[in-house]
Structure 1
């Protein structure tokens, strides 16, 4: 019965139903080829998050405008005090109009130009501190986690610095050095790398003794190559998240120092100075614009970096790639 059924099936099959494939040496060599790219796949996954992608465009536009704003026509100087032509007095607390788009502050300075000048200052602080945190934190954390002989030494250094509150360090550095942009950056960089270093160290301790790392070590692979090729690529997603969050955190510290009176001098516009000035006028309804405008810019920056950091961390995870 079985043979009869097979014969019935094969009776309808003819050579016309088949096409013989020819051997192609070029195609045979491409059989194992893959056009996968880690960073391209990361970008493709990232842009699928419409909110994060929109915020990325917003930040690019904001930063670009902040840079070119002083060179646009009819822009006022951020530290110049403007005089009312009718009274020959300072144009204090002038409400927003066609000439002063964001109004003026309590001494007659243009708030529009001060906000963008302050944004440049705060972004500069955030980027410098964030890059330092990434550079020092990744290097020290990688050595701390992988080189066992350095574990005790770096742990003791970490314990000493970590037990000193960050606020105390910032206050002491501000008192020791003259309040300036350099002072703020140095004060934040002294302890800014601690969190990143500990974070990287803990992650590397988890994966340092896996088989491929032990095999590389037995084959004589240098420690530097093992760290850069075997360990750090696994941590790209979480490291990028920490870097993205470090920028708004540094801006937040600058605002906090200004709030307690230890920030940048009034002669250097910053978001911290502007928010601190507007805070004093918050209870006056007609003057609340002096707090609302800089607060909106600060909120846009911090929220955008936070959302983009989380979205990029998810996109950098190879498990989310196609």
Structure 2
């Protein structure tokens, strides 16, 4: 048998000494919602990497055309269809920057030596002898500008429309939703064609077309959030204190849905870039001598077999921008959603 008196002493039942000052001490620093979300974003390596790439692309979109001595719209017909050549990398033959082209019979030749061209075109030139490096970054600048303006306008219209529709409810909500369903049923391409009949093809018709039809998804998301918040305690407290409907919507409800708004906007930007590229590719977008990623793809498509770099470079740029924005949006969705916890 076990001797309980020898194995269990009275000291084991003595209460532990607890310092009341240390027991209330918080060891982890207090974080607000945005700081906590940023910590979760930082754990997503893909989202952080894509953020860095997007920052570099945005900077290069404005700085890139200044790094080359050639302007994006300057034509030098004697230098047309030159392949990429970068000083210092031209002697590394396994890199596609040595200025060589391949003939139909499979033989290769240095286009710069044959034409006795001493200049260096980092991304090559197009059929009119324009520098593709300057045109690529200028096109990236225009495409991003269109996407950001369209996303900003969509955000303003969508948030206002969805918040008013969800908050007022009843017959007003029913009428506003029917109007939105009619707008959703109109294809974007039809709106662009109608805009081109009134305006010249270019920057303005694309923005108007994206503005008319692009805000509906944001409005639906905001309306759903407003319907969820409308019966909660902080809204009832604001009403009790005499706050107006405008104050309740824009000072109490919308700040609580910033996460959803940011995520939806991040998904809207790549969609707008792809839509602009599609319009420019079919000839309904920007016109010469202006450049966008869609116009560059359209120009390179005609000579894709002989000069594939003219289409590959802007196509890779479009793909890179869209993938990065989508991965950043996925990372923000996981970080800003309170239900997504580690």
Q: For this structure pair, what is the TM-score category when the shorter chain's length is used for normalisation?
A: 0.7 to 0.9
**Mapped contact 2:121–2:133 kept (Cα < 8 A):** yes
Q: Of Structure 1 and Structure 2, which has the larger fraction of its residues in helix?
A: 1
CA spacing shift, 1:321–1:93, aligned 2, 3 Å: same
How big is the shift at 1:302? 0.5
1:41-190 to 2 correspondence within 5 Å? 41-72=36-67, 74-84=68-78, 91-98=79-86, 99-148=120-169, 150-190=172-212
Helix, strand or coil at the partner of 1:287:
coil
Helix, strand or coil at the partner of 1:243:
helix
Name which of 326, 329, 332 aligns with 1:306.
Answer: 326
Per-residue CA deviations over 1:283-319 (Å, capped at 9, x if unaligned) read x1x3111110000111110010011001101100123
Helix, strand or coil at the partner of 1:319:
coil
Name which of 195, 199, 205 aligns with 2:227.
Answer: 205
Structure 2 equivalent of residue 87 of structure 1: none
CA spacing shift, 1:20–1:96, aligned 2, 3 Å: closer
CA spacing shift, 1:206–1:82, aligned 2, 3 Å: same
Helix, strand or coil at the partner of 2:215:
helix
How big is the shift at 1:225? 3.8
Structure 1 segments unaligned to the other structure (5+ residues): 85-90
1:230-249 to 2 correspondence within 5 Å? 230-249=252-271
Structure 2 equivalent of residue 265 of structure 1: 287
Structure 1 equivalent of residue 213 of structure 2: 191
**Mapped contact 1:103–1:110 kept (Cα < 8 A):** yes
Structure 2 segments unaligned to the other structure (5+ residues): 87-119
| Distance (Å, rounded) in 2 between the aligned partners of 1:262 and 1:316 | 38
Helix, strand or coil at the partner of 2:30:
coil
Equivalenced residue count is: 306
Structure 2 equivalent of residue 88 of structure 1: none
Name which of 256, 266, 275 aligns with 1:253.
Answer: 275
Question: What TM-score does the superposition give when structure 1 sets the normalisation length?
Answer: 0.84
